[in-house]
Amino acid sequence: MAFEGSCHCGRVAFSVDDETPTKAVLCNCSRCRAKGFLVAYYPGEKFTLLRGEEELKSYRFNTHVIEHRFCGNCGVEPFAQASAPDGTPVKAINLRSVKSLDLDRLQLDFVDGANMPTGARAAAEASFG
């Protein structure tokens, strides 16, 4: 069963053709901590951008492996994208942008991104989780 999400203003919207997640990654790296992300990862082919390509801006930091995509109007980042080591596209869905999801029911998997050595962080980013 597919689920949908969007930025705050609704100019960017997406769907994921997969089950609604029951787990989320809670990372304490500088970006995730500042933004409060709860993330679930999906193969790129499961993701469809419904609207807003022209609204999307990009931000990269640290190893520049992950492209964080955010709405240029409201600033919300509904997803990020990268490639797995084998080149397969991967999307990281910001579950806070999925309005139908009960966040209190998610099982949280903590990732200590703040204390990963640079090489380990790069490997984790390259594998996107």
Q: What is the pLDDT along the chain (129 residues), one digit of tens a residue?
A: 899 999 999 999 999 999 999 999 998 888 888 888 899 999 999 999 999 999 999 998 877 788 999 999 999 999 999 988 888 999 999 999 999 999 999 999 998 888 876 644 454 554 454
pLDDT attached to residue 125 = 54
Longest CA–CA span in the chain (Å) reads: 38
**From CA 116, how far away is CA 101, in angstroms rounded?**
30
pLDDT at residue number 31 = 84
Domains of the chain, by residue range, sit at 3-111
Q: How far is CA 45 from the centre of its chain?
A: 15
pTM of this prediction? 0.86
105, 24 in Cβ contact below 8 A?
Answer: no
Provide the CATH number for the domain formed by 3-111 in this structure.
2.170.150.70
**What residues does 26 pair with on adjacent strands?**
110
CA nearest 97: which of 23, 38, 19? Answer: 38
Q: What is the pLDDT of residue 123?
A: 47
Report pLDDT for 126: 46
pLDDT of 124 reads: 52
In Å, what is the CA distance from 116 to each residue of 28, 55, 92, 119, 121?
A: 10, 33, 19, 8, 5
